[in-house]
């Protein structure tokens, strides 16, 4: 619908259309990549607040042993909705949003390759997410069972089959994710096509900003990983309503088949979510170190090889399901191999900082924390890849700690960095440095309290997804610290939201290039005009603005 | 009780895993120290100074030799870790019972454990008894792991890593405990409403004690005359559809075997202690102790409940 109405946004606004209806129409009907990017990011932040509150309620329940603040049914819904939302409705839209906003600007294009598809993708994502949340109202009552989905974000069969998950809650999970998945797929097609066909004059593949390279890899991973999930979800729907028997163990189906399908999506998905974090860091760290990225070509090669290896490691989520020895050894080794290109990246970022003049502005603070936290996440990843160790660790709180280190310590920290870094470009306004620092420190302390301690619970034998635990296991103090960390994280996020609101009230102008940066998005005005560049740029190196600022020492002499 | 820490092993796979883990942790610890050191050094040494002249630092575009170095060193580490991992997997993962082992079939149910001892013809629930294995006369325990409904996972951290119980499949796990004691664990794969209260207790006993326990379990239920009223109510109601009491007509298979109910220390897969008031509450309102439990309240009169409990406590 929006796509059909799209051209209206491009035509000049009618005389009568003023006030909020005009603004609403402009945003709802838009096909502009920048508006869509901002809408993706904003809806991601809204879902982030909701899913974060879900986590806070869970931590309230788990702060004390034998607590009965919420029922097991409610708890199971909370962790299902928390995980599903954070992956599909927070991570995905935010990374696609930044890709949408930045790729055309970085490659000197006027829009994405398929603007209407772009709008369609956004609305599919949003309505998929709303459908999932509608389960809280719509799903109870029909069969007297269920409310929100409660089978966990990976919905293992046969628990998610009709026999054990009656009512419609699981159907909302299937359809909500399936629909928002179409949004991600169209976003991926769009980003690949845009980056491959719409680069400005002189921008060869080897001169694309690393951000664009990484988003291409991410987009290919989406094209590879999402269809198996969609297929498996359709199969599950067939099981539930048409008497198919793919996963129905009571009729001879295979419970493990679902796990292979799911993790064939699920593991590349981890890289889909974390590579954009690399992308933001690869733009931000050089600018605040005042140095060109160290080893551009190696960074590209490492990203591409992570993309390939990402598709061959899925069964490391399944070391406890009783696969053969050979299979276990293969998936263990190949998983450790991922550490090699990932390590290369970390070393290159450090080498970029080394010898620089590092400015500790808010985006850089988040990136430095990201470096150390992501290092920890990578090392606990090696521990989890070490199969015998994993037999102890899998499905324990150690795993919960590990993937929150990846997705919060890695991705979310860089998302915050990216928001502080590109917000001036998107709005023309600076975010408060003081609130940003407060946000950073509160969030860092809260994050460490919550997720560093979680490793300990796991090592002490606490499994994940339990709504309560007995008082005699020695887990009490650790769980209390974990829960208290949520308070600091929440305060940090409030500072973040306050910084955004304050920016619009204070209206400190950012100028075109507040960070003295080097990529093309900083050469146009803030916010950029509807068609981005009055005149399409022409580049001779990876850092066109460096060349402009340093005509005596341009990059193209060295590349 | 000490926490069921994976670093406090009392049985062979858990022991071997701790030894192997030490190597993994050491490697990771060294990497962490070096890389964090580099990061901290870089940000301290190369921070922008207040008296900065505003000129850009020298631009270094990369170095193939350095890139090669930090590719090859991690590759070597991966090779070492990969080979060690393969060796440990081959040593620990067994699909055939080791000689002289005790066979136990563990079946996962929503939300309790069923244990069969085919050699002895006994069945119990939630509290597993196994013998200590003496190095002179090894007596490991070898499990066949199955599930009756959804996927569960058997995890007693101090004895071994976890292995899933999957419907339509048969998985295996073995332990060889060295020290007597009670080791706690629980289901580690989310299996529905009461996943949190699918607790496990493993009682590791010296061989003689274990044999004595087996002999006691092999006896049919000792039905005292004094409890005949309660027994009659038990056998008249739906209790018998789900529960077995060997030596009586009760032969249901959906719930735990109650033949020697009072030999167990907990109720509802570990959710509550097995004492008289709690047992009464459990029979009257199982849902109040374990919300969502599959066992329904039988809607008996208070007096009838007293009789049923009087009968149950005779099942020693």
Return the domain boundaries, chain B.
1-44+94-205, 225-312
From the CA of A449, how many Å to the nearest CA of chain B? 19
B-proximal residues of A, 164-223, CB under 8 Å: 164
Closest by alpha carbon to B112, among B241, B270, B292, B272? B270
Which among A250, A292, A347 has the least Cβ separation from residue B61?
A292
Residue A351, pLDDT > 90, answer yes
**How far separated are the first and last CA of chain A, in Å rounded?**
47
Which among B86, B164, B186 has the least Cβ separation from residue A321?
B164
Closest by alpha carbon to A239, among A296, A297, A165, A181? A165
Closest by alpha carbon to A278, among A410, A187, A376, A381? A410
From the CA of A311, how many Å to the nearest CA of chain B? 19
Closest by alpha carbon to A356, among A293, A270, A439? A293
DSSP run (H or E) holding A219: helix A210-241
**Residue A9: pLDDT band with limits 50, 70, 90:** very low
Of A21 and A444, the structure prediction assigns the larger pLDDT to A444
With an 8 Å Cβ cutoff, is A355 touching chain B?
yes
Other C-beta atoms within 10 Å of B50: how many? 5
Chain B positions in Cβ-Cβ contact with residue A296 (cut-off 8 Å)? 61-62
With an 8 Å Cβ cutoff, is A351 touching chain B?
yes
Chain B positions in Cβ-Cβ contact with residue A328 (cut-off 8 Å)? 89, 93
**Residue A17: pLDDT band with limits 50, 70, 90:** low
This prediction's pTM: 0.94
Residue A3, pLDDT > 50, answer no
Q: Do B21 and A389 touch (CB under 8 A)?
A: yes
From the CA of B184, how many Å to the nearest CA of chain A? 9
How confident is the model over A318-340, as a mean pLDDT? 95
The whole-number pLDDT of residue B307 equals 95
Residue A13, pLDDT > 80, answer no
Are both B1-44+94-205 and B225-312 of the same fold?
yes
* Tokens 């879900």, located at residue: A54
**In whole angstroms, what is the distance from residue A158 CA to residue A165 CA?**
9
Q: Do A355 and B58 touch (CB under 8 A)?
A: yes
pLDDT in tens, B50-68: 888 889 999 999 999 999 9
How confident is the model over A212-221, as a mean pLDDT? 97
pLDDT in tens, A75-129: 999 999 999 999 999 999 999 999 999 999 999 999 999 999 999 999 999 999 9
Chain B positions in Cβ-Cβ contact with residue A320 (cut-off 8 Å)? 153, 161-164, 188-189
Using DSSP, state whether B165 is helix, strand or coil: strand
* Tokens matching residue A175: 């359809």
* Tokens 């992570």, located at residue: A306
User: Is the Cβ–Cβ distance between B238 and B223 less than 8 Å?
Assistant: no
Q: What percent of chain A has pLDDT over 70?
A: 95
Which of B90, B188, B268 to substitute to test the interface with A, most A CBs within 10 Å?
B188
pLDDT in tens, A517-536: 999 999 999 999 999 999 99
**Residue A538: pLDDT band with limits 50, 70, 90:** very high
Chain A positions in Cβ-Cβ contact with residue B92 (cut-off 8 Å)? 388
B-proximal residues of A, 457-476, CB under 8 Å: 459-461, 463-470, 472-475
Q: Could you tell me which CATH class the domain B1-44+94-205 is placed in? A: mainly beta
Of B12 and A16, the structure prediction assigns the larger pLDDT to B12
Average pLDDT, chain A: 93
For chain B, where are the alpha helices, taking DSSP H only? 12-45, 64-92, 207-218, 228-236, 239-242, 276-284, 286-289, 302-312
**Residue B74: pLDDT band with limits 50, 70, 90:** very high
Q: Do B169 and A329 touch (CB under 8 A)?
A: no
Which among A152, A332, A460 has the least Cβ separation from residue B5?
A460
**In whole angstroms, what is the distance from residue A291 CA to residue A298 CA?**
16
Q: Do A461 and B155 touch (CB under 8 A)?
A: yes
Using DSSP, state whether B211 is helix, strand or coil: helix
Domains along chain A with CATH numbers: 31-557 (1.20.210.10)
**In whole angstroms, what is the distance from residue B114 CA to residue A480 CA?**
34
Nearest residue in B to A383, CA atom: B24
**In whole angstroms, what is the distance from residue B293 CA to residue B290 CA?**
6
pLDDT in tens, A40-76: 999 999 999 999 999 999 999 999 999 999 999 999 9
pLDDT in tens, A226-246: 999 999 999 999 999 999 999
How confident is the model over A495-508, as a mean pLDDT? 96
**In whole angstroms, what is the distance from residue B310 CA to residue A537 CA?**
89
pLDDT in tens, A141-191: 445 455 899 999 999 999 999 999 988 899 999 999 999 999 999 999 999
User: Is the Cβ–Cβ distance between B131 and B206 less than 8 Å?
Assistant: yes
The whole-number pLDDT of residue A147 equals 82
Q: Could you tell me which CATH class the domain B225-312 is placed in? A: mainly beta
- DSSP annotation of A553 reads S
């Amino acid at each position: 619908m929006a796509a059909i109405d799209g051209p209206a946004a491009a035509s000049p606004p009618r005389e009568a259309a003023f006030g909020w209806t005009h603004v609403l129409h402009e945003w709802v009907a838009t096909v502009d990549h920048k508006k869509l990017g901002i809408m993706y990011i904003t809806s991601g932040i809204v879902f982030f607040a909701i899913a974060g509150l879900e986590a806070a309620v869970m931590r309230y329940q788990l702060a004390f042993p034998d607590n009965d603040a919420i029922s097991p049914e409610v708890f199971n819904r909370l962790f299902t909705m928390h995980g599903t939302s954070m992956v599909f409705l927070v991570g995905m839209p935010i990374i696609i949003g930044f890709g949408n906003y930045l790729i055309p600007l970085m490659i000197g294009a006027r829009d994405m390759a398929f603007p209407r598809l772009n709008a369609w993708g956004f609305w599919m994502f949003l309505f998929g997410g709303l459908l999932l949340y509608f389960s809280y109202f719509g799903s109870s009552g029909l069969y007297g069972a269920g409310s929100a989905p409660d089978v966990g974000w990976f919905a293992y069969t046969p628990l998610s089959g009709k026999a054990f998950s009656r009512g419609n809650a699981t159907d909302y999970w299937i359809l909500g994710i399936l629909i928002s998945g179409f949004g991600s797929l169209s976003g991926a097609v769009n980003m690949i096509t845009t980056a491959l066909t719409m680069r400005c004059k002189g921008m060869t593949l080897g001169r694309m900003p690393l951000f664009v390279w990484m988003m291409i890899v991410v987009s290919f991973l989406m094209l590879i990983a999402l269809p198996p999930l969609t297929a498996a979800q359709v199969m599950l729907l067939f099981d539930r309503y048409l008497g198919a028997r793919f996963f129905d163990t009571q009729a001879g189906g295979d419970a493990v088949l679902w796990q292979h399908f799911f993790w064939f999506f699920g593991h590349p998905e981890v890289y889909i979510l974390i590579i954009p974090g690399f992308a933001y860091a690869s733009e931000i760290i050089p600018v605040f170190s005042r140095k060109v990225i160290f080893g551009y070509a190696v960074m590209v090669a490492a990203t591409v090889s992570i993309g390939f290896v990402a598709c061959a490691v899925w069964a490391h989520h399944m070391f406890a399901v009783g696969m053969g020895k050979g299979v276990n050894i293969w998936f263990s080794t190949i998983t450790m191999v991922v550490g090699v290109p990932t390590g290369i990246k970390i070393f290159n970022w450090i080498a970029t900082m080394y010898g620089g003049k590092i400015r500790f502005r808010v985006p850089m603070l988040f990136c430095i924390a990201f470096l150390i936290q992501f290092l920890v996440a990578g090392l606990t990843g090696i521990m989890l890849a070490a199969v015998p160790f994993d037999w102890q660790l899998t499905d324990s709180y150690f795993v919960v700690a590990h993937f929150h280190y990846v997705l919060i310590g890695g991705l979310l920290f860089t998302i915050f960095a990216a928001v502080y870094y590109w917000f001036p470009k998107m709005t023309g306004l600076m975010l408060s440095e003081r609130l940003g620092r407060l946000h950073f420190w509160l969030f860092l302390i809260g994050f460490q309290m919550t997720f560093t301690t979680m490793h300990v619970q796991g090592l002490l034998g606490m499994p994940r997804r339990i709504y309560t635990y007995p008082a005699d296991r020695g887990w009490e103090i650790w769980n209390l610290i974990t829960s208290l960390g949520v308070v600091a994280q929440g305060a940090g996020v409030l500072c973040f939201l306050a910084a955004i609101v304050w920016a619009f009230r204070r209206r400190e102008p950012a100028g075109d290039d507040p960070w003295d940066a080097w990529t093309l998005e900083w050469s146009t005005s803030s916010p950029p005009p509807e068609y981005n560049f009055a005149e399409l740029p022409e580049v001779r190196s990876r850092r066109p603005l460096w060349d402009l600022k340093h005509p005596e020492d341009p990059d193209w002499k060295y590349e | 009780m000490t926490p069921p820490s994976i670093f406090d092993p009392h049985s062979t796979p858990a022991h071997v895993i701790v030894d192997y883990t030490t190597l993994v942790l050491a490697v990771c610890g060294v990497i962490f120290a070096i890389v964090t050191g580099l990061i901290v050094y870089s940000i301290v040494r190369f921070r922008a100074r207040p008296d900065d002249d505003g000129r850009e630092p020298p631009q270094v575009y990369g170095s193939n030799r350095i890139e090669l170095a930090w590719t090859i060193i991690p590759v070597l580490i991966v090779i070492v870790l990969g080979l060690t991992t393969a060796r440990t997997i081959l040593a620990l993962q067994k699909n055939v019972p080791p000689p002289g082992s005790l066979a136990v079939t563990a079946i996962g149910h929503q939300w309790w454990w069923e244990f069969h001892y085919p050699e002895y013809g006994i069945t119990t629930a939630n509290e597993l008894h196994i013998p200590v294995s003496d190095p002179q006369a090894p007596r490991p325990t070898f499990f066949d792991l199955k599930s009756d409904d959804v996927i569960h996972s058997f995890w007693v951290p101090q004895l071994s890593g976890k292995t899933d119980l999957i419907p339509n499949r048969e998985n295996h796990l073995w332990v060889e405990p060295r020290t007597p004691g009670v080791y706690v664990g629980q289901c580690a794969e989310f299996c529905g409403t009461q996943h949190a209260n699918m607790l496990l207790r493993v009682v590791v006993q010296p061989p003689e004690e274990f044999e004595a326990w087996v002999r006691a379990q092999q006896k049919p239920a000792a039905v005292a005359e004094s409890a005949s009223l309660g027994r009659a109510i038990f056998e008249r109601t739906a209790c018998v559809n789900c529960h077995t009491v060997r030596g009586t007509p009760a032969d249901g298979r959906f719930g735990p075997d109650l033949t020697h109910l009072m030999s167990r220390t907990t109720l509802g897969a570990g959710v509550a202690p097995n004492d008289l008031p709690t047992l009464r509450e459990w029979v009257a309102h199982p849902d109040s102790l374990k919300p969502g439990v599959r066992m329904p309240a039988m809607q008996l009169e208070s007096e009838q409940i007293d009789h049923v409990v009087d009968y149950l406590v005779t099942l020693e």
